[in-house]
Amino acid sequence: MKKIYLLLLGLLGIHLLILSKLQFTAWPEMLSFPYMVDKGFLIYKDFHHVYQPLLTYILLIYYKFFSFSPESLKIFTWISILIIDILIFVISKQILKKSTWLSLIPVGLYVLLQPLFEGNMMWFDIAMIVPLLLSIYFIFLWFQNKKYLYIFLSGFSLTLAFLIKQQAILAFLPFLIFLLMNKVTFKQLLTFALGALLPLVITILPIMLKGDFKDYIFWTFEFPLYWLPKFPGYKILPIKREWLVIFLMVLIPLFAIIFDLLKKKVDSKKVLIYGIFLTLLLSAFPRFSFFHLQPFLALFVLAAAFLILQKNKILYLIAVLVIIYIGTYRYRLILPELAGGIRFYGNDEIQLTQYINSVTTPNDKIYLLGPQSAIYVYAGRVPPKPWIENYVWHFEIPGLQEKVISGWETDPPKFIFWIPPTSGNWFDLGTYEPKKIVEYIESNYTKIDQINGVDVWKIK
C-alpha cells in the first residue's frame, strides 16, 4: 500500500515539474477582480463580473494571507491542480474498488494530458473542477452506505462548482438521474437539495442585501445568454485538429455505453460520470479554447477507470495515444513558453507600473483603456466606479458607455493610459474603441506623454 502512495507522490511531482517548465498564464481578472472587491468595489454593481462570485471571494481571502501577486496566483493554481490529481485518484479507487494500483492510471493520464490543454493557469473552468469532483466523491460514498451526510455534502459541493462557473448547473441533471436510478427516497433527495441550497443562500443573500441582485442577474445570466451571442468576433470554434481531439474523447466512452446497453447492464456510476462528461463539453462553447475543456478532461480520465477493466479498453488506449500525438502540436505552439515565466507580467507591465507610480499618488484615480487590468493591482491604483474594461461585448451594450461617463463626471480619473488601436476588424480585441468614451477623453483630457506604446492623457 505504501508503494501505491509513493507512486502517487511521484506523479504529483512529475505534474509540478511539467508545469514549472511551462509559462504560467496569470489572467488579469484573477488579480484585478479580487483587488477591486478589496478596494470597496461591489461585484456586478461597481464593475463588470460576468461569472459567479465564489472564485473571486476565495482568491480575495487567499491574497489577504499572502499577497496580490502573480507568484501567489501561481502557487494557488498549482495547489488546486494537485488537489485535482488526488481527487481523481480517490474517485478512481471508488470505481475500481480493490484494484488500487489501477487507480494511478487515470491520474497518470491527467498528468500527461492536463498541460496539453492549456492547464498552467487559474481560470473559472479549472477552479470548478475541485468542488465538482468532491461532489462525485461524496455521492459515491453515499452510494456505498446511504449516509445523509454524504448526500448533503454532494449537493453542497455541486453548488460550489456552480457558484464558480454557471455552466456547472448542467451537471445537476446527471446527478438527479443517478439518484433516481438508485431509488433515492424523498428524505434523501430533500437532503441533497438542502445541501445544494445552503451555499447558494450564503453567497447570494449578501449580494441581494447590498442591492446588487439585479446587476448579478444581468452579468451572470442575461449578458452571456442574450448579449454575447449578438456580438461579432465573440464566437470561436475549434479548428480541425481540435475537433478530432474532441471527437476521439467522446467516441470511446460512447462505445462503452453502447456495449453496456447491448448487454442490458447499465452501471449508474457510469451514467453519472459519462453524463457529467458530456454536459461539460457544452460548457467549452461558443468561445472555444483548450482550457475551457479542463473540466471535460478531468471526467475523461475518470472514464478510464471504467474502461481499463473492460475487454474493449484497447480502443481507449488507441484514442489516448492519438490524442497525445495530435496534442503534441500544442507543445510546438508553446515552445517559446518552455522557459517558464509569467504571461501578462513582463517588462512592459513593470515599466508601465513604475511610470504610473511616478506621476500619480495612491489617491489618484486612473483608467486603463487597453493595458490589461492587473496593472491596477501592480500600481496600487483604482479606476472610478463603475469600472468596465475595453471589451466590445461590454461597451456596446446600450447605455453602458453613458453609465461609465456619468461616473467620470462626478469622480474623474486624473490620468488615462490608452493603447492606440491596431488595424483590423472594428470588433477585435486591440482594435475596438468605445466611441462615446473616446469622444469624452478627447474633449476633457490632453495627451502628455507615451511609454512603450501607451499614450498618457491627463485631465485638463
Task: List the pLDDT tens digit at each of the 460 positions of the chain.
Answer: 678 889 999 999 999 999 998 889 999 999 999 999 999 999 999 998 999 999 999 999 999 999 999 999 999 999 999 999 999 999 998 888 766 788 888 899 899 889 888 889 999 999 999 999 999 999 999 998 989 999 999 999 999 999 999 989 999 999 999 999 998 999 999 999 999 999 999 999 998 888 889 999 999 999 888 888 887 777 778 877 778 778 777 776 776 667 666 666 777 888 899 889 888 888 778 777 878 889 999 998 888 777 776 655 555 566 666 665 555 555 444 444 455 688 888 888 999 999 999 999 999 999 999 899 999 999 999 999 999 887 767 888 899 999 999 999 999 999 999 998 887 777 667 778 889 999 999 999 999 999 999 999 999 8
Q: Are residues 68 and 197 in the same domain?
A: yes
Q: Are residues 74 and 113 in the same domain?
A: yes
Q: Are residues 307 and 361 in the same domain?
A: no
pLDDT of residue 332: 47
The span from the CA of 52 to the CA of 255, in Å, is 35
Peptide bond into 115 cis (omega under 30): no
Among 317, 338, 359, residue at a domain's last position? 338
pLDDT of residue 335: 47
The grid cell for 293 is 475543456
Pick the closest to residue 167 from 304, 296, 31, 300 (CA basis): 296
Q: Are residues 37 and 6 in the same domain?
A: yes
Q: Where are the alpha helices (DSSP H) in 308-340?
A: 313-333
Q: How many CB atoms lie within 10 A of CB 8?
A: 18
Q: Where are the alpha helices (DSSP H) in 365-431?
A: 374-379, 392-395, 400-410
Q: Are residues 60 and 98 in the same domain?
A: yes
pLDDT of residue 360: 94
Answer yes or no: are the C-beta atoms of 295 and 128 closer than 8 Å.
Answer: yes
Give the amino acid at 306: F
Q: Which residues contact 35 (CB under 8 A, 6 or more apart)?
A: 63, 68, 376, 377
Give the amino acid at 21: K
Give residue 452's domain range. 347-459
Total domains in the chain come to 2
Among 284, 305, 338, residue at a domain's last position? 338
Q: Are residues 260 and 398 in the same domain?
A: no
Answer yes or no: are the C-beta atoms of 55 and 371 closer than 8 Å.
Answer: no
- Give whole-number Cα distances, 275 to 170, 286, 303, in Å: 10, 20, 11
The span from the CA of 400 to the CA of 386, in Å, is 10
Q: Are residues 220 and 166 in the same domain?
A: yes
pLDDT of residue 3: 85
Among 291, 308, 338, residue at a domain's last position? 338
Answer yes or no: are the C-beta atoms of 386 and 403 closer than 8 Å.
Answer: yes
Q: Are residues 316 and 273 in the same domain?
A: yes
Q: Are residues 315 and 423 in the same domain?
A: no
The grid cell for 306 is 471504467
How many Cα atoms occupy the beta-carbon half-sphere of 341 within 13 Å?
Answer: 11
Q: Are residues 385 and 243 in the same domain?
A: no
Q: Are residues 449 and 306 in the same domain?
A: no
Q: Are residues 137 and 80 in the same domain?
A: yes
Answer yes or no: are the C-beta atoms of 298 and 189 closer than 8 Å.
Answer: no
